[in-house]
Amino acid sequence: MARQGSGAMLASGGLGFPPQNVARVVVWEWLNEHGRWRPYSAAVCHHIENVLKEDARGSVVLGQVDVQLAPYVIDLQSMHQFRQDTGTMRPVRRNFYDPSSAPGKGIVWEWENDNNSWTPYDMDICITIQNAYEKQHPWLDLSSLGFCYLIYFSSMSQMNRQTQRKRRLRRRMDLAYPLTMGSIPKSQSWPVGASTGTPCSCPQCLLVNSTRAASNAILASQRRKLYPGAVRQSSTFAGGTLWPAGTGMPAVVAGSAAKGEGLRVAGAGFAPGQGVPSAALPGLNNLNRPGTQRGAGLGARATVPPGVPALPVKNLNGTGPVHPALAGMTGILMCAAGLPVCLTRAPKPILHPPPVSKSDIKPVPGVNGICRKTKKKQLKKSKTPEDVVRRYIQKVKNPPDEDCTICMERLVTSSGYEGVLSPRGIKPELVGKLGKCGHMYHLLCLLAMYNNGNKDGSLQCPTCKAIYGEKTGTQPPGKMEFHLIPHSLPGYTDSKTIRIVYDIPTGIQGPEHPNPGKKFTARGFPRHCYLPDNEKGRKVLKLLIVAWDRRLIFTIGTSNTTGESDTVVWNEIHHKTEFGSNLTGHGYPDPNYLDNVLAELLAQGVSEATLKD
């Protein structure tokens, strides 16, 4: 054990889920577009749990407990969060932690953003920081968790290892997250996409599964000698495990550290209660962190024998998915267990094409012009919200006895927004049916949904996402350029490439934005995106131009990557920003991308029919 004020070389890993029929802390989380699970507040989690007890297949209106979440509803049956004004759906999960961890004590760790407000850390990072704080470590290194930050407890600050920029850090007490007892349904405890059948054969999963098997086998032998009777036998060496699925990969603890050293996260940790004399870091799974999960490219695996998992090691300049210490530990464990492993160098992502001269840049065939600009949005003097709602609905005299999916009250009763809104000529008991899809809602609920949106004269059905009118967004002013370059994308060797360049400067938020009159930032511009120059690629470009003109490509909000608020972010239409590889998941080859982005454009009301208008 490390002395007070000293550090320890400690392995990070998934606590997973405690044994059955013991108390657990419940944290509800939603999945952002970068694959990170973001926790709801403790108050929201208590609200969800209360609804869950009454109806496990019902819906949760988050605005009832947090006014900032008014547009959001969680469908417990499909485990998705639905945003009523945009139609956006995101997976949610019900995650579990030890009652002695930070969420069980109501402890929240936050960092100060550029707007002098506080942003909470992901729950696993919060728990890691709290563990180090309780052990009185002077500092904590988060780099092995996919974050290039150092935490200094003496000054309560966070420092970026690359830029040396420091931010304030704080620890505050809040409502403790709810407790639950009993077994955990798999549908609620496993992240979306987790395999329950045939294991995945991708390099990342091969690495994780092989490492877990090797670790279990070797450490089982050691623990039998030290702790007789504490280890259960696995059924088979290759497929069986010594711990239930989800409890995390066992750890190797490198022993005590010298006084004054901080905590360095390196691998995976033992779960508490398993008789192992080591500290635990709940809720982590380092090899699955978004910042560390990168597979080696074909070139790096070309000399690796078939069936041997390639372990890409971090380069000296800091790029690459696996820390050298973790790679070495994994190699030792796998070799000792008789499993082959090959250490390779991780390739760097190819974000941009080779230099192109101006004379080689050509217009895209069949597309007019090479540039589109948008100016400051002028608010049109349109019809009142009441007139907009009446335009798209038909009144229903005898509504059925079913739920209004906006307020969750019965259609035969008054709207849940009665007393909140007092519109002209719309009574709380009036029910209307949308013309195209036929879904029925209280007129007052539709009015509340419209007032909470962009107020652009369009409506979107919260049930089927059908759009009425022309949907527009809140994209700030900027410029979109597009042209042809004489290089090919992976998977499209017979085609040239369409390059799109978006450029949006910083500015002041307008009345349609979250904080009118306040400055917004625009990080990472100009942004370069790529499409193949074929028939479908040119169709996507034309529709992206329509989406740009309707201000749907970007919006102003909070970055899910950095946590910065009041900044320009993507708006649910995915782009490929990696030219010559696909190490980040935003590159090629991706045979389904063009079809996927066409579906995303259609969900925003941008279809091929708009090209014929």
Residue 311 lies in a domain: no
Both tokens of 92, joined, read 């949610």
Residue 246 lies in a domain: no
Closest CA to 141 of 132, 151, 133, 131: 151
pLDDT, one tens digit per residue, over 560-569 is 878 889 999 9
On whether both 422 and 495 belong to a single domain, the answer is no
Average pLDDT of the segment spanning 299-303: 39
From the centroid of its chain, how far is CA 578?
19
Which of the four pLDDT bands, split at 50, 70 and 90, describes residue 283?
very low
Lowest mean pLDDT among 116-120, 164-168, 373-377: 373-377
Mean pLDDT of 543-557: 94
Q: Give the model's pLDDT for residue 15.
A: 32
Strand partners of residue 259: 6
Are 412 and 549 contained in the same domain? no
Among 421, 438, 468, give the residue marking a domain's end.
468
User: Position 358: which residue type?
Assistant: K
Cα gap 5→258, rounded to integer Å: 9
Average pLDDT of 479-507? 95
Same domain membership, residue 406 and residue 527: no
- Average pLDDT, integer, range 487-505: 95
Q: Which of 257, 300, 251, 301 is nearest to 278 (CA)?
A: 251
Residue 543 lies in a domain: yes
Query: What is the identity of the amino acid at 539?
Result: K
Return mean pLDDT, the chain.
75
Q: Give domain status of residue 239, yes or no.
A: no
Q: What is the dihedral of CA 84, 85, 88, 94, to 10 degrees?
A: -40
Please write the tens of the pLDDT for every residue from 99-109: 899 999 999 99
**CB neighbours of 516 closer than 8 A, spacing ≥ 6?**
509, 510
Q: CA quadruple 460, 465, 471, 474: dihedral positive or negative?
A: positive
Q: Establish if 190 belongs to a structural domain.
A: no
pLDDT band at 372 (very low <50, low <70, confident <90, very high): confident
Identify whether residues 449 and 482 lie together within a single domain.
no
Q: Give the strands of the sheet with 256-259, arranged side by side.
A: 118-120, 107-112, 166-173, 157-160, 149-152, 139-141, 263-265, 6-10, 256-259
Q: Which carries the bigger pLDDT value, residue 216 or residue 315?
A: 216
Q: Mean pLDDT highest for which of 189-198, 347-356, 420-429, 472-481? A: 472-481
Q: Which pLDDT belongs to residue 546?
A: 94
- Domain contains 169: yes
581 and 549 assigned to the same domain: yes
Q: What are phi and psi of 288, to 5 degrees?
A: -105, 10
pLDDT, tens only, 419-469: 777 777 788 889 999 988 999 999 999 988 888 877 888 888 988 888 998
* C-alpha atoms less than 13 angstroms from C-alpha of 222 in its C-beta half-sphere: 14
- Predicted pLDDT at 67: 85
Residue 336 or 41, more confident: 41
Torsion of CA 533, 535, 541, 546, to 10 degrees: 160
With bands split at pLDDT 50, 70 and 90, how would you rate the model's confidence at 264? very low
**Domain assignment present for 265:** no
Q: DSSP assignment of 289-326, as one string?
A: -TTT--PPPTTTTTTSPTTPPEEEEPPTTS-SSB-HHH
Give strand pairing partners of 554.
570
Lowest mean pLDDT among 153-167, 273-287, 364-378: 273-287
Q: Are 240 and 231 in contact (CB under 8 A)?
A: no
pLDDT exceeds 50 at position 490: yes
Least confident of 278-292, 312-326, 582-596: 278-292
* Same-domain pairing of 430 and 525: no
C-alpha–C-alpha distance, residues 330 and 137, integer Å: 27
How confident is the model at residue 146, as a pLDDT? 76
Say whether the peptide bond before residue 490 is cis (omega within 30 degrees of 0). Answer: no
Distance CA 97, CA 105 (A): 11
32 and 154 in one domain?
yes
What is the greatest pairwise CA distance in the chain?
80
Q: What is the pLDDT of residue 499?
A: 96
Looking at residue 592, what is its pLDDT? 93
For residue 453, the model assigns a pLDDT of 78
What are residue 8's DSSP bridge partners? 256, 263
Same domain, 40 and 103: yes
Q: Is the peptide bond before 589 cis (omega within 30 degrees of 0)?
A: yes
Q: Is residue 221, in this structure, part of any structural domain at all?
A: no
The per-residue pLDDT for range 180-199, each reduced to its tens digit, is: 876 544 434 333 333 344 44
Q: For residues 361 and 371, what is the distance between their CA atoms, to the nearest angstrom? A: 13
Spatial contact of 105 and 172, defined as CB atoms under 8 Å apart? no
CATH number of domain containing 583: 3.30.390.130
pLDDT for 17? 43
* Domain final residue, candidates 438, 468, 498: 468
State mean pLDDT over 511-540.
94
- Whether 34 and 72 map to the same domain: the answer is yes
For the domain that residue 430 is a member of, what is the CATH number? Answer: 3.30.40.10
Q: What gap in Å lies between CA 8 and CA 263, rounded to an integer? A: 5
Residues 6+ apart with CB under 8 A from 70: 62, 63, 452
The predicted model gives 63-85 an average pLDDT of 85
List the single range of 58-72, 190-204, 215-229 with lowest mean pLDDT: 190-204
Identify the domain containing residue 594 by its residue range. 477-610
Share of the chain above pLDDT 90, in %: 35
Please check the confidence at residue 527 and state whether its pLDDT lies above 80: yes
Together in a domain, 39 and 171:
yes
Specify whether the CB–CB gap between 101 and 283 falls below 8 A.
yes
pLDDT, tens digit, for every residue of 327-339?
555 655 655 555 5
In this structure, the answer to whether residues 31 and 149 fall within a common structural domain is yes
For 558: left if phi > 0, alpha if psi spans -120 to 50, otherwise beta; the answer is: beta
| pLDDT at residue number 273 | 35
Q: Are residues 50 and 153 in the same domain?
A: yes
> Where residue 44 sits, what CATH number does that domain have?
3.30.720.50
Q: Report the 10 Å Cβ neighbour count for 194.
A: 13
Of 468, 497, 513, the residue that ends a domain is 468
Count of domains observed in the chain: 3
